[in-house]
Structure 1
């Protein structure tokens, strides 16, 4: 992609308490999925996209919003950001490209699959101050909602269930493992 493309902020700082509570051992992002950690699947898709990226492994505070703010502040000169949780191992590089391109149309882009909202959510440069100030658990929802009320959010339909398919529990990991096995 061109140098004015947004940076993918990969969120990898979460504690994964739901995963552990469901019987998973350790970090969901390090859980084995077809011979490599869940996070490595996400990073491989980002690498294939050719977009610059920044991985947030830790943040001041415990919430997703704290991680988003840390990633945005660390890449403050970017033209925009694609916020991508590190637990979406089926995300595709074309989906990342689609969201990045759509930022030319609206300052906030939310990908959808069959009517459900997914990730990565795209934010244009003008969202910097709002994103950098985020804190808590709600992620970027307040920023998305503010732009939605102004009519400046694009819901972008994609043909990629990977934008929704995250690993929150051991059952999720097993389901994704079966999907990958069936695809081979």
Structure 2
């Protein structure tokens, strides 16, 4: 079964009040988005893509540009659901049977988490950290039509409607996101 990994990086990051976008902020000399992308690469999935939108990430992704597909989400302002839809649509066009989606503002999700979620069975697999659901999330082709088209929830609405098809996957690593300047300062 072919499984792609997709990093969602389309949002505006409005809670991050610095002069630059949160994904371009650095931790130990590397941008938040490049750190997240490196973990996804190290998971060795069949293909890798990044959904972009509000900010130009070309410079931050330059080193990886020949290894990834960039998916432009023109509807990024409608919420994360549109980015998840973009990811599923791209995966379908590429012939993948599943897509594992994660967030570009979570630079401490490790490659082992991506691999574990990708290898899980079931229509939806969700990473758990100390019993709490997080990212990444694996979505099998059969659930793609159930995904919402817009709004600030991606697969969570499907997981609530159909809890019987959700497989929790215990993962190591940190699911912390960088949403504010204060979040970043804890790691810098």
Output the TM-score relative to the length of structure 1. 0.84
Q: Which runs of 4+ in 1 moved over 3 A?
A: none
The answer to whether structure 1 residue 156 and structure 2 residue 169 are counterparts is yes
In the other structure, the counterpart of 1:181 is: none
Output the TM-score relative to the length of structure 2. 0.82
In the TM superposition, residue 6 of structure 1 has moved relative to its aligned partner by 1.6
Asked if the contact 2:10/2:76 (under 8 Å) is kept, the reply is no
CA distance in 2, matches of 1:74, 1:81: 9
Asked if the contact 2:16/2:22 (under 8 Å) is kept, the reply is yes
In the TM superposition, residue 61 of structure 1 has moved relative to its aligned partner by 4.1
Q: Secondary structure at the match of 1:56?
A: strand
The answer to whether structure 1 residue 75 and structure 2 residue 96 are counterparts is no
Q: Where do 5+ consecutive residues of structure 2 fail to align?
A: 54-72
Asked if the contact 1:147/1:153 (under 8 Å) is kept, the reply is yes
Q: Where do 5+ consecutive residues of structure 1 fail to align?
A: 178-184
Q: Note closer, same or farther for the CA distance 1:142–1:67 as it changes in structure 2 (3 Å cut).
A: same
- Over the residues paired in the alignment, what is the CA RMSD in angstroms? 1.4
1:127 aligns with one of 143, 157, 162: 143
CA distance in 2, matches of 1:54, 1:134: 19
In the TM superposition, residue 159 of structure 1 has moved relative to its aligned partner by 2.6
CA distance in 2, matches of 1:15, 1:175: 21
In the other structure, the counterpart of 1:54 is: 49
